[in-house]
Amino acid sequence: MSVDQPAAYKKDPALHARILTAVILAPLVILGVLYLSTPMFAAGLALVLLLGTWEWSRIIGVQRRRFRTAVVLVNAVLIALCWYFLEHTNYLYIAEIGAFWWCLAFLWLRRITFAQTQTLANAELKMFVGSLLMLPAWCAAVLLHESEHGARWTLFLFALIWCADIGAYFTGRKFGNKKLAPQISPGKTREGVYGALAASALFAIGFGIWTGKSIPDAFLLMGLALLTVVFSIVGDLFESLMKRHANIKDSGTLLPGHGGVLDRIDSLLAALPAFVAGKVLLGL
């Protein structure tokens, strides 16, 4: 999520590339969510997450391709084991573990030098963290997609993060003044966060009204949406911190204007488990 930018609004030279990439990808995501069966959706999402895992292995300092491939294969096996041997109702427990992990990640953001040194122990820790990023997000997405009105809810979550991203991007560029986390990501501002929260709150209320929810439920949904966006910001900042540890700007170059796959899904990795756990808890 882009909770940025400088104080005075300036033209973004990468904006056209960002828009073009979004115009191509967004319809594919929407069609996939709405028309794919849950098994096909789960397989497609697994592929995206494994691409993210490949980029993650680079970020954490794994250089040899065979070792990076091994990291991806381990996560592919974990996903396959969950699909074939776990009841899908148990996916909620894994999603809750993921939500708890992101609370710990917030603490990590407050101690930015933790595990920064390029050592084998730190690389192993970050490999384990990579699985905590990917597996709970996948379980949460599958559980959400196969729930009642699952396609609608899944699309709502994706659109929520997109709205927050857009609100943050333009608010941050126009009004951004106070740095959010200058040592982690200097371009991100508090004003961008406010824009993200405002856009997501309006979208959630609108969705609640459109789907015929009662006023209390619509406000519960808005509260959950705001919390989910906060988690998504933590996800964005955490990936930025890991890139700062590795002294790289983007996780990859696959998506013009956005960087790598991981740069595009970092917010969702945190948002998915938080949203699904909260939705179940609130009975929405």
For residues 244 and 59, what is the distance between their CA atoms, to the nearest angstrom?
9
Q: What is the pLDDT of residue 6?
A: 44
Q: What is the pLDDT of residue 12?
A: 58
- The distance from CA 233 to its chain's CA centroid, rounded to whole angstroms, is 8
Q: What is the pLDDT of residue 20?
A: 75
Residue 82 belongs to some domain of the structure: yes
User: Measuring CA to CA, which residue among 209, 236, 232 is closest to residue 221?
Assistant: 209
Residue 193 belongs to some domain of the structure: yes
Q: Is 10 left (phi over 0), alpha (psi -120 to 50) or beta?
A: beta
Overall pTM > 0.85: yes
- How many domains, in total, are found in the chain? 1
Residue 70 belongs to some domain of the structure: yes
For residues 20 and 144, what is the distance between their CA atoms, to the nearest angstrom?
29
Q: What is the pLDDT of residue 253?
A: 67
Residue 73 belongs to some domain of the structure: yes
Residue 7 belongs to some domain of the structure: no
pLDDT digits (tens, 9 = 90+) for 60-104: 888 889 999 999 999 999 999 999 999 888 999 999 999 999 999
Each residue of 182-197: b (16+ CB within 10 Å) or e? Answer: eebbebbbbbbbbbbb
User: Measuring CA to CA, which residue among 103, 83, 77 is closest to residue 39?
Assistant: 83
Q: What is the pLDDT of residue 257?
A: 55
Cβ atoms of 221 and 252 within 8 Å: the answer is no
pLDDT digits (tens, 9 = 90+) for 234-245: 999 999 999 999
* Residue located via tokens 């789907």: 211
For residues 58 and 270, what is the distance between their CA atoms, to the nearest angstrom?
20
Q: What is the pLDDT of residue 169?
A: 86
Cα-based distances in Å from 196 to 170, 235, 242 = 9, 14, 23
Low-confidence ranges of the chain (pLDDT < 70): 1-15, 17-18, 253-258
Residue 128 belongs to some domain of the structure: yes
Domain that holds residue 38: 15-282
Is residue 113 exposed (0-12), middle (13-18) or buried (19+ Cβ within 10 Å)? exposed
Residue 122 belongs to some domain of the structure: yes
Residue 4 belongs to some domain of the structure: no
For residues 88 and 236, what is the distance between their CA atoms, to the nearest angstrom?
28
Q: What is the pLDDT of residue 131?
A: 94
